[in-house]
Chain A
Amino acid sequence: MVAGKKTKTHESINNRLALVMKSGKYTLGYKTVLRSLRNSKGKLIIISSNCPPLRKSEIEYYAMLAKVGVHHFVGNNNDLGTACGKYYRVSCLSIIDPGDSDIIKTLPGDH
């Protein structure tokens, strides 16, 4: 199931993320994700698959209050860090300004 999804849509998510990293504004990490939700700057939240479930549901609750989409990344925090082009793990990230990418329009059918 995971391997099947990994092919087309997964690569496109990675591509879109790379474009956001290059051209847009984002923050990485749980504390800044909550901060971006609180001051309503975040537009899309991406959570890795091995984010601890309490933290995942807390972020989802904040996003529900802020009416912001949440995308559950297929892959753990190591993969999400690599997808962001970083050499460290990223468990959750918040996209503040997508730049040239269309990630905000194409993703939140997902939730």
Chain B
Amino acid sequence: MVKFLKPNKAVILLQGRYAGRKAVIVRSFDEGTRDRPHCLVAGIKKYPSKVIRKDSAKKTAKKSRVKAFVKLVNFQHLMPTRYTLDVDLKDVVAVDSLQSKDKKVTAAKETKKRLEERFKTGKNRWFFTKLRF
């Protein structure tokens, strides 16, 4: 009876090109546009690779790169998890940033930056590991 598809919830995409990728809900539209309840998610397109202690600074920088995406997804195509990701993406990602290609690219670049700095702090380690299936 508790609403759990709220902003900052970590979810896994189930369908589409990004199936199997982890994402975080940025904004949810419960009464949707016209018919379907959906939400705006920002997720990881390419996970950062495993960084070992032996790596040089240049290599760790290269390995910690994250490629992000922004998408509107129906709730039915998400698997919610018990994890949350407290990263502030509301000012970066908005519905109108999906209207045109370059706006989408800038939104994705900005989320990439925020996600990368979160990855480097070492928190939310579950979110940045690839789901094996």
Contact = CB atoms under 8 A, between A and B. Distances in A.
Interface of A: 34-35, 38-40, 42-43, 62, 64-68
27 contacts: A34-B76, A35-B76, A38-B5, A38-B37, A38-B75, A39-B3, A39-B30, A39-B37, A40-B1, A40-B2, A40-B3, A40-B4, A42-B1, A43-B1, A62-B80, A64-B82, A65-B2, A65-B4, A65-B80, A65-B82, A66-B1, A66-B2, A66-B3, A66-B4, A67-B1, A67-B2, A68-B1
Interface of B: 1-5, 30, 37, 75-76, 80, 82
A70 B18 CA distance: 31
Given A38-B75, A40-B3, 14 more contacts: A34-B76, A35-B76, A38-B5, A39-B30, A40-B4, A62-B80, A64-B82, A65-B4, A65-B80, A65-B82, A66-B2, A66-B3, A67-B1, A67-B2
Nearest to A42: B1
Contacts of B5: 38
A35 B38 CA distance: 12
- List of 5 A-B pairs having minimum Cβ-Cβ separation, nearest first: A65-B4, A40-B3, A67-B2, A38-B75, A66-B2
B79 to A, nearest CB: 8
Nearest to A64: B82
A33 to B, nearest CB: 12
B104 to A, nearest CB: 26
B90 to A, nearest CB: 22
Considering residues A34, A38, A40, A66, which has the most beta carbons from chain B within 10 angstroms of its beta carbon?
A38
B82 to A, nearest CB: 6
A66 B76 CA distance: 16
Contacts of A64: 82
B78 to A, nearest CB: 9
A17 to B, nearest CB: 19
A30 to B, nearest CB: 12
Interface-central residue, A42, A43, A64, A66, by most chain B CB under 10 Å:
A66
**Residue from the set B5, B30, B37, B82 with the largest chain A CB neighbour count within 10 Å:** B5
Contacts of B30: 39
A104 to B, nearest CB: 10
A43 B2 CA distance: 10
A4 to B, nearest CB: 32
